[in-house]
Structure 1
């Protein structure tokens, strides 16, 4: 098992950095959201948010997203938060290997056998190869090597390209050099949103012998190239059997009992092939064992799971009490697996 606890130096550096970056106006605006939604006095919410951030390792957005204003101290203690997640990443994801996850080209090379789709890298001399690749597949997805939250991801259709030389130059100039085949998703996922590849975020920790699944969230898109919130996407938490724990929600106050486009009831969703997903996560977690704590983005395809990417800064997905009625989070699982 890994060593217990976090470095106090790392903790202090993180707190100092947060203090330097604090945006008081933003904190007040978030506090107004919680005050209005839960009927709490604004000054008390502001004070509570600052206390939770400074003493309890709770991010300001965590406080809003997970309805901390209505939770008891004991309930709050069960929630995983972004500051704690960051400390885990810094301790258990070796700096020398993080680049394999940050650079999408390097990631595809490292995890090529688990991608289960075609891909290529655009360079100055392969315009003809790009055209042949795109025309054969019909639709492609391009990515900038470094990006997050869906930024730098684009979708193109061969039928829309009029000048292939210009298209090739444009990808190079914009840095969209990673080109991938569009993932085909399982019919159960397509039934919710067919226009977007809907990913499952599986947060896992590899202790050197065993892979521990800490949390699973199912993301749904709105027809755009990405299911991230910046593209209108939202998520729902899944239980250990892959069943939705409630309606969908995002960090902008939107709640979706039904998918806005398909009308599918989110709480009825069941992730197909859950046993295959669990085994798949164990496989990919062993490829780079020096990076132990990862948020894996996976899509269940018709024949099984497909790897989209891995995030060494795993981020946090949690239950939202006002939506699901569930007033506890996943932190006990993290503590049991990691030992902090």
Structure 2
């Protein structure tokens, strides 16, 4: 119990109380209970289930009973899972985009250039080959630090090189020529599958998969306004409605009209083969959330996540899926 209290106190210390109590008041209205009652229930749930303020609010704990709450993988349990399965010394393999590009080069299937080790002439040649590129910074998350740049928006390749140096980008990549089936959801973003793998001895489990697409921008992250929907990891079929920031839920994309539920992800057997092969490259990190995109020829890796989140795959249908990880939590 003392460890739970320590975690609770540290979490409270890191909390944005304005946002937290705004959520508590919203939950009180939704559940037709007094705000102090919901506030007490929130703190007790944090202690009992290891949830964060945001877990209680976004997972709708205010309308769930004890067994339903216990079914969710919460923030504390997700952190414990990662500590148990992943060696922190290898975290930079995944979080430094330049290192990831080197280690997983056979699975990227696109032209990439590390800026720190490249002269201006090499960068110029890259820009002449690819007039539009994605520029990325190491250790950036949630779609931040990623920008789509076109030579046409500058006075020439030399001006773009100067911009890349001045803005301290670390990596540029060829634009992914996205598969038309995925472009149908949002043609302006690279729409991806987040698919998790757990290396368990000689076996590689795939506990969940999520489809992510943009709304009308360059990135597909929910935190940047995009949508996510659950995929059946066996068949590759989308099995839920889509959810966006602010708990907006929809069956069809509000801009393009593409239907989420029932969509069959292309070449799913090749996606599973790709992530299972990639999972063997760094066995010291057993639990990885892979971001997979499609070009016209098939799936390719965008990046791997050392610290997969616990929210999206439980949020789309508000269903707890801790059972997928029980054997590793023990």
Q: TM-score, normalised by structure 1?
A: 0.89
**Partners in 2 of 1:10 and 1:239 — Cα distance?**
36
Q: Deviations over 1:22-49 (max 9, x none)?
A: 3333221111232334444432222222
Contact 2:288 2:307 in 1 (8 A): yes
CA shift for structure 1 position 253: 2.5
CA RMSD in angstroms, aligned pairs only: 2.2
| Structure 1 segment 80-95 matched on structure 2, within 5 A | 80-95=73-88
Moved more, 62-71 or 30-39: 30-39
* Structure 1 unpaired stretches of 5+: 1-7
**Partners in 2 of 1:262 and 1:89 — Cα distance?**
37
CA shift for structure 1 position 55: 2.1
Contact 1:259 1:265 in 2 (8 A): yes
In structure 1, the residue matched to 2:305 is 311
Say whether residues 1:300 and 2:291 are aligned partners: no
Q: Deviations over 1:71-103 (max 9, x none)?
A: 221122222222211111122211221111110
In structure 2, the residue matched to 1:263 is 257
| Structure 1 segment 93-172 matched on structure 2, within 5 A | 93-123=86-116, 126-172=119-165
| Structure 1 segment 44-63 matched on structure 2, within 5 A | 44-63=37-56
Number of aligned residue pairs: give it. Answer: 328
**Partners in 2 of 1:166 and 1:29 — Cα distance?**
46
**Partners in 1 of 2:325 and 2:251 — Cα distance?**
29
**Partners in 2 of 1:283 and 1:295 — Cα distance?**
14
| Structure 1 segment 130-279 matched on structure 2, within 5 A | 130-240=123-233, 241-279=235-273
Q: TM-score, normalised by structure 2?
A: 0.91
CA shift for structure 1 position 339: 4.7
Bigger RCO of structures 1 and 2 (CA < 8 A, at least 6 apart) = 1
Moved more, 201-210 or 164-173: 164-173
Q: Secondary structure at the match of 1:214?
A: coil
Contact 1:40 1:69 in 2 (8 A): no
**Partners in 2 of 1:204 and 1:77 — Cα distance?**
23
Moved more, 164-173 or 182-191: 164-173
